[in-house]
Structure 1
Amino acid sequence: MARPRLLRTCLLAALTTVLAASVAGGPAEADPQAGPPGVAAVTFSDSFDGPAGAAVDSSKWQIETGDNVNNHERQYYTAGNRNAALDGQGHLVITARRENPANYQCWYGTCQYTSARLNTAGKFTAQYGHVEARMKIPRGQGMWPAFWMLGHDIGQIGWPDSGEIDIMENVGFEPSTVHGTIHGPGYFGSGGIGAAYSLPNGQAFADAFHTFAVDWAPDSITWSVDGTVYQRRTPADLGGRRWVFNKPFFLILNLAVGGYWPGDPDGSTVFPQQLVVDSVSVRTGDTATGAAIRGLAGKCVDVAGANPANGTPVQLYDCNGTGAQQWTAGPDGTLRALGKCLDVTGNGTADGSTVQLWDCTGGPNQKWTVTAGHDIVNPRADKCLDVTGNNPANGTRLQIWTCTGGANQKWTVG
């Protein structure tokens, strides 16, 4: 949010144990050759449990108050639980109302609306990991809900040098579309760098809960909606300008009314409107970018040329610690590197179907199970990730093949 415009990811090593138990019917045996498992750490979590009408947990959130002239927003953000309260059913409800019960004064005169804005500044900051919120957004002209982050040093160096990561913004005149954006020195406000994601068939985000997330690593931020990745940004996207996202950030949730971008409410806008938040979490692991997957001859599962383009071959290669060999496990059963998914080419199920990197689609050709026996299996095909021809040479293409228990189908994480 330009102000002024302003890992549920688990590392594969941890997933090995979890999924092995579900597949094999019991706990996986430890591999004495494997390194210490990656631990999926929940560093921040709020599921908003509590009695109806209660305020948010003050050990996690602080409530901002006042107006916002910078964006020409119309609301006054109130304190306490007046516009931000638990509903008693495991949700935080941020309510925007057309009212002014206390004669609040805004930049344009007597305020016309109230709402709420929460942040974790001084209570929690994150540096890297999987940051997500499951929410149902409001609808209507002039509504502007957002889930975003600001650099922890904003008080010292100011905005936009502090950096801003907008995980989700919606403007009411686009009911089917959300935006993810970064802002920093030389690329802020309307010049922020980002992309939009739209639901198919004219569906509105206000009709159901959706999960909005970023996977954030050194020199890389990847956005997703409901597990589907729609953009990835790195320093290469900045045209030589400064990347300011390798440091701690704090979280923000708010519902603005009006402003330069969404425009003001009009006669079609119904009040009150609500941003309903089911959960917010930040998860990370023992590395920010994931874990290597080692196989035949001690070599690694590798994205050829570290190229994030759709269709890039996935191969065996000497382990080198680059992002092309850092894999994370998505909450939807996917294996991800460089912001995209390990994919069986052409939805193939036959022996010899190659694997590649592709946009995450949620399809069965992108689902994988890690077993206690160190197999990586595509359940739809019931076949194992396999080194073609049992060839340990650099550049050997990976494929799926009937599981044989051979060394070319055995993988160690970490």
Structure 2
Amino acid sequence: MKVARTPHRAVLGMALSALGSLLVSAPRAHAAPPPGYTLVWSDEFDGSTLDPQYWNHTYPGNYRDAFNTSDATTVAGGNLTITTYTEGGVHYTDHLDTKNKYQPKYGYMEARILFSNAPGNWSAFWMFASTVGAAGDPRLAGVELDIVEHRDSDWVGTDISGKVNSTLHWDGYGANHKSVTGGLQGTGLGGSFHLYAMEWTPTYQKFFVDGVNTFTVYNSAATNPTPPEAPISQRSQFFMLSSEVLNNNWAGVIPAGGFGSKATSDSQMIVDYVRVYQTAPVTPAVPSGLAVANVNHRAITLSWNMVDNAPYYNVKRSLTSGGPYTTIATTGKGYTDTDVIPDTTYYYVVSAVNGPSQSANTAQVSAAPLPGDTHNGLWSAQMAVSGTASYYAIRQTVSVTGNTAYSAGIWAKGTGRIRFGVRQLDGTFLASQFITAGTAWTYYPATFNSGANTQVTYYIDDSSTTAGTVLIDDGFLGLSGGTNLLANPGFESGNTGWTIYQPTGWKILHAANVHSGTGSSRGIFSGTASYGNVRQLVNVTASTAYQAGFWIKGAGRVRFMIRQGASGSALASQFITATPAWTYYTVPFNSGANTQVTFYVDDSSGTAGTAYIDDGFLGVSGGANLLANPGFETGANGWSVSSSVWKPDQY
């Protein structure tokens, strides 16, 4: 069991309280699920980030009396923590859910949680369905299942920090709303880790605290149950982990001055793990909607629809249509295959997994990575051959052993003609050949004897009259079957190790359409303004001067704006026409009264083309970048994308 972390407020309470009235107890022993249950899924939060294959940040922005932000959620030390804090007069917190990623039906759901809430704030571990409150039978529409809720105070200020409650809500939240509750349960539960669980079967739901049954609800026979009778949900539901803020209501009054800063607030919900157990785990349905969501020259991304009671999926691949298939990953919903070769067709199927049970395979889909401008890695060298011999050269001097037979070679593709050879230092060729590049990467070998030389020059130039553009990569010079003596042979470190005569001729370039790193966002513009946009909401300090900008290349025209709040008027705006070379565009702005602004790029012009944007920046001049994932290295994480016009991580 993981070590409990004691919140600041609990430590203070311990220091001030009498012996024997400690607010924080030692971690409890694990309460096993009822006999016959098998673990089918868990998130132990052992990484450093929230797992996006299972969790969403939900209800972003203003919610009740706070602003929901992913900044309030951290994963570290084997725990997930949602911190409720106050900065700049704004209260911040977060909601998480597994909607459309993992939605079990029936089982024993358990979480180990430390609650440390301040007045005006409450936290919960619960389950929900998007159809809760829909007309008809609530068993089919779903029921809000509050496995546990914790408050520091009630609406009259009574200290209830040591207690929790479990509640069911159904028939919506208006005039027809109904609920049953187990009431406040337990003692001394605030400020230390405890186990909270629910056993859910078709006929009953039992709620537990540290393995003790505190509340039981049986499925009513009534068509439309009325409390104290209740319906038991008969549909899959998703998990939620949440902290909420509502002043002068059922959780009391927010402290004067708020909850403290993010660094000092101890109003926290700390989750050690969430686990799901089931009896005789059902075989899940076959996933629907398997599709190739994205292809670039080094990756294929697959997507499919979630299956009830399927926490995992087996992704299977073959080089032959119809198989046989090999399982290449067991994953959450969605997968990117990066172990691929350009111009090679791969065939995929997916099956859903629930414990020992596995569905049949989906229908097959196939894709081939796009032809790459590198033979391997992310870099190559390019020469635009004009048709008039320029003798522009790229070369490297290598130490060799005299009177020894060596091999040399280069991979090339494209159009046009180049000369490849190995020279003595006086310029005399020991080996030489002209290469006419083709559309596929092809290796061109050469052999030579070093003779009296202890150094030779590996040499490629434009000495022909055949126009075109040639790409070269992964050079070799060494003993046959031996070590490559070339430094940086694949240009992965740029031009390190290489000498370039007339750099306007040869270009060491990143083959992907990125300015740096391995990601960018592509926009395809039809020539009719779609207003499709890629944007990010950023917290700023009011009345402060900022800079914002990004790199762009390609064709077409975009609008770049900094907007007030989530969708307000522009603080700065300009139209940008992309060019073939990466170019940086920047705008200054003052935040004014705003504590949030939106970094915003859209297609609002009538200029057709395809453009790539990368490495955005928003911050004080010379200061830290406030954008999350500014270079799209992790796809769309941190960004909102309004339409298919924009494809983050498309290069």
The change in CA–CA distance for 1:181 and 1:47 in structure 2 (over 3 A counts) is same
Indicate the residue corresponding to 2:271 in structure 1: 277
Q: Deviations over 1:307-341 (max 9, x none)?
A: xxxxxxxxxxxxxxxxxxxxxxxxxxxxxxxxxxx
Matched, 1:199 2:154: no
Q: Which residue of 2 aligns with 1:144?
A: 122
Match of 2:54 in 1: 60
CA distance 1:170–1:184, shift in 2 (3 Å): same
Q: How does 1:180-195 map to 2 (within 5 A)?
A: 180-185=166-171, 191-195=178-182
Once the two structures are superposed, the pairs formed by residues 227-376 of structure 1 within 5 Å of their partners are 227-236=211-220, 238-239=225-226, 243=231, 245-258=233-246, 260-267=249-256, 270-271=259-260, 272=265, 273-286=267-280
Aligned to 1:49: 46
Secondary structure of residue in 2 paired with 1:196? coil
Deviation at 1:198, TM superposition (A): 3.1
Aligned length: 233
> Does 2:82 align with 1:94?
yes
Distance 1:263 1:78, change over 3 A: same
Distance 1:155 1:193 in 2: 15
Shift, 1:244, TM fit: 5.2
What residue is the counterpart of 1:119 in the other structure? 97
Q: CA separation of 1:68/1:191 partners in 2, compared to 1, >3 Å: closer, same or farther?
A: farther
Change (3 A) 1:112 1:231: same
Q: What SS does structure 2 have at the residue aligned with 1:192?
A: strand
Q: CA deviation at 1:155?
A: 9.9
Cα distance, 1:9 vs structure 2: 2.1
Supply the distance in 2 between the matched residues of 1:78 and 1:198 (Cα, whole angstroms). Answer: 31
Deviation at 1:11, TM superposition (A): 3.4
Contact 2:86 2:259 in 1 (8 A): no
Residues 85, 138 of structure 1: alpha-carbon distance in 2 compared, 3 angstrom cutoff:
same
The residue that corresponds to 1:214 in the other structure is 198
Give me the TM-score of the superposition, normalised by structure 2: 0.33
Alignment partner for residue 130 of structure 1, among 108, 125, 133?
Answer: 108
Contact 1:142 1:269 in 2 (8 A): no
Corresponding residue of 2:67: 76
For the residues of structure 1 that align with 2:132 and 2:45, how far apart are their CA atoms? 27
| Alignment match, 1:377 | none
User: In structure 2, what residue type is equivalent to 1:46?
Assistant: D
List gaps (5 residues or longer) in structure 1.
1-6, 13-39, 101-110, 289-414
Q: Contact (CA 8 Å) 1:185, 1:242: kept in 2 or not?
A: no
**Aligned match of 1:395:** none
Deviation at 1:177, TM superposition (A): 1.3
- How far has the Cα of 1:243 moved from its partner? 2.0
Q: Distance in 1 between matches of 2:114 and 2:218?
A: 29
- 8 Å CA contact retained: 1:152, 1:248: no
Change (3 A) 1:269 1:114: closer
User: In the alignment, what sits opposite 1:177?
Assistant: 163
The amino acid across from 1:183 in the alignment is H
Deviations 1:192-236 (A, max 9, x none): 201134334xx2x22210111100100210001000101100134
Superposition deviation, residue 10 in structure 1 = 5.0
Tell me the CA shift for residue 65 of structure 1. Answer: 4.0
2:125 and 2:240 in contact (8 A); partners too:
yes
- Give secondary structure in 2 for the equivalent of 1:130: strand
Is the Cα contact below 8 Å between 1:187 and 1:193 reproduced in 2? no
Judge conservation of contact 2:126–2:241 (CA < 8 Å) in 1. Answer: yes
Match of 1:254, as an amino acid? Answer: S
TM-score, normalising length from structure 1? 0.51
Residues 42, 92 of structure 1: CA spacing in aligned structure 2 closer, same or farther, 3 A cutoff? same
Pairing partner for 2:147 from 144, 167, 170: 167
**Is the partner of 2:241 in helix, strand or coil?**
strand
- The structural deviation recorded for 1:184 is 0.9
What amino acid does structure 1 have at the position aligned with 2:203? D
Q: Is the 8 A contact 2:170 2:177 kept in 1?
A: no
Amino acid at match of 1:221: Q
Contact 1:130 / 1:213 at 8 angstroms: preserved in 2? yes
Alpha carbons of structure 1 residues 62 and 156: separation in structure 2 relative to 1, 3 Å: farther
Give the aligned residue type for 1:217.
T
SS in 2 for 1:9: coil
Q: Percent identity?
A: 25
Based on CA coordinates, which of the two structures has the bigger radius of gyration? 2
Distance in structure 1 (CA, Å) of the matches to 2:152 and 2:137: 26
Q: Which runs of 5+ in 2 are unaligned?
A: 1-30, 154-159, 283-651
| Letter in structure 2 aligned against 1:56 | L
Q: State the secondary structure of the residue aligned to 2:244.
A: strand
- Root mean square deviation, CA, Å: 3.2
CA distance in structure 2 between the partners assigned to 1:155 and 1:195 by the alignment: 21
Q: Which structure has greater helix proportion? A: 1
Deviations 1:164-205 (A, max 9, x none): 1000011220201111011112788984201134334xx2x2
Q: Which of 62, 68, 74 is the matching residue for 1:85?
A: 74
Q: Which residue of 2 aligns with 1:332?
A: none
| Cα distance change of structure 1 residues 221 and 68 upon mapping to structure 2, 3 Å threshold | farther
Provide the C-alpha distance between the structure 2 equivalents of 1:129 and 1:10, rounded to a whole number of angstroms: 10
- Output the amino acid matched with 2:271: V
Query: Aligned residue for 1:384?
Result: none
1:281 aligned partner, one-letter code = R
Cα distance in 1 for residues equivalent to 2:173 and 2:60: 27
